[in-house]
Structures are given as structure tokens and as C-alpha cells.
Amino acid sequence: MSAETGDRSPKAGMLGLDGLLPEQLSRRGFVVMTALMSGFTMATAHAQANPPVRTPADGLVAGEVKIPVKDGDIPAYRAMPEGAGPFPIVLVIEEIFGVHEYIKDVCRRLAKAGYLAVAPELYARRGDISRVTDVQVLLRDFIAKTPDAEVMSDLDATAAWAAQHKGDAQRLGVTGFCRGGRAVWLYAAHNPALKAGVAWYGPVGGQTSPIQPKTALDVAGDLKAPVLGLYGGADTGIPVASIGELKKKALAAGKTVELEIFPDAPHAFHADYRPTYRKEAAEAGWKLMLAFFKKHGVA
């Protein structure tokens, strides 16, 4: 939890928990997710300080799909323009709260810009994330137990699925928010077919584990695609100095990294359903993301 829930620890801020309220849920309610949630994760339901952006689906093909992965199927949300395609692909990586309405809307916004956007539910195997109201349960039973190798494999499978469903595999991009921003850095070091990545306030450092062995800083010299990092200068969980260290390490290895730091923005400044939302920074970051994708061949 964050300062707004009584925990001012850097770890909490790095995970983007600003504006959340602690509640309890019996683990007896957990089931593996076979379908996406409607609305918002229960953990975020009380955090809505602003009317969330609602992007209509007119002119789009949008809705839930199934992504074949190595051990079955996982649910995902796909949005793309109507028409024959092929469309450039953008993988959208969720926050820690699952593929809820905010992430779906991000996909529709990208589709309105001409992309096939798809957000896989990367925590589906751990249980029904939509029912979690206790953030600590979410961190312990979902985030900490999801191997980075599994995330990379699922993103590969999602890109392959998109390429078979009107997507252009030669124009592949990725974007993600908070924990998803961290995954953007890792995926840019993983997939040589990636053209560009955009990480929204993704943690740079942090704790590692046997199943999550590297941080974004650890892979900075191994990037296989250009990455744009969008960060808030008022983010108490991600020090500006650490972001600069990542860029310095990447540039020293001959990699392409661009950073934009919005001085007064907190963590999760793009999350329009939360008190942390900052409209000016969110809209400016969105424009920078689209321009970065276009510049590096994801358009």
C-alpha cells in the first residue's frame, strides 16, 4: 500500500498502489481466470477519483479473445480497426490489477490510432484476480508467484496470435503500466522481433527472486529494441536517479533509450480512474508514445 493507505515504503510506491484501500478476501474464493473481468478489479473499485476515460468501440473490432499458450489458453482483450489489415501490433501489459476496464480502454484508444492492440491476462493461472480486495494478497499470491519467463512466453504467444489475426508481425510494439512497465524493459531485452517499447513508470530496480531474477536495470545493456520511458518526477517509489542510471547503462552498451520525466507527476499518472491521474502529463505521454512507435516502425 502507499502513503494514502498508511504504508510509505518505496516498495509499495514502485508497485503503483496509490489510492487503494485495504480490504480482506477469503482465499476460498480464488479460481483460475478463464474469462476477463467486467468493470474494475475490486482492489481498485474504491479508488476512482475521476470519471474514467471511455473510448467507444464504434469503427472497431473489440472484445475478449483466447490466446493459446504452452499450457492451455489465457483470456485477453483485443481491439483493432475494422477492415482487412494487416495492422501494426501493440502488446498492452496490465498493471498489477488485471485486464480491467482501464486496460481495455487503452486498447481501444490504440485501435482508434490504427493499431491492433491486445492485452493478455498474465495472472490468469494464479486465480481470479478480479475478486481480490486485499492488496497484500494480490502481491503475495499473484505478482510474486508469476515467473518472468512465463510472462515473456505469454507475450510471445500473444504476438504470434495477433500476427495470425490481422496483425503485422513486422510492426510489433509493446507498452505497459507500472509492473507492466517493468515487463516492457524485460521484453525489449527478450524479443529480437520487437520494434519499440514504451514503459509507463515501470520499476527500474527492486527485489529479485529465483523466478524473477533480473530488474530493468539489470537488462538495460541487453535491449534488442528502442525503449521510451515515461516517468513522474514526484513518484516516491522510483527515484529519478535510478532512471538516469538505467539510461546511462543502456547508452553505454549502444542501445536506444529515451526518457521523459514529468516533474510534478506521481506514480500512475496515466491511470485515469485513480487519484494519481494527471491529465496533462497523461496526454503528453500518449502523444510521445505514438510518435515513438511511428519513429521506430510500429505504424
Active site residue 267: yes
Residue 26 in 3-state DSSP?
A: coil
CATH of 49-296 given 3.20.20.370, 3.30.70.1230, 1.10.260.40, 3.40.50.1820: 3.40.50.1820
Q: Which long-range contacts (CB under 8 A, 24 or more apart) does 146-151 make?
A: 146/122, 146/211, 147/211, 147/212, 148/183, 148/186, 148/211, 148/212, 148/213, 148/214, 149/211, 150/122, 150/125, 151/122, 151/183, 151/186
The C-alpha cell that represents 258 in the structure block: 529515451
Annotated catalytic residue within 141, 148, 235, 272? 235
Annotated catalytic residue within 18, 107, 154, 178? 178
- Please report, in tens digits, the pLDDT of each residue of the chain (299 residues total): 333 222 333 344 434 444 333 333 333 333 466 766 665 565 554 445 456 778 999 999 999 999 999 988 999 999 999 999 999 999 999 999 999 999 999 999 999 999 999 999 999 999 888 888 888 888 999 999 999 999 999 999 999 999 999 999 999 999 999 999 999 999 999 999 999 999 999 999 999 999 999 999 999 999 999 999 999 999 999 999 999 999 999 999 999 999 999 999 999 999 998 889 999 999 999 999 999 999 999 99
Annotated catalytic residue within 100, 190, 267, 270? 267
pTM of the predicted structure, to 2 decimals: 0.88
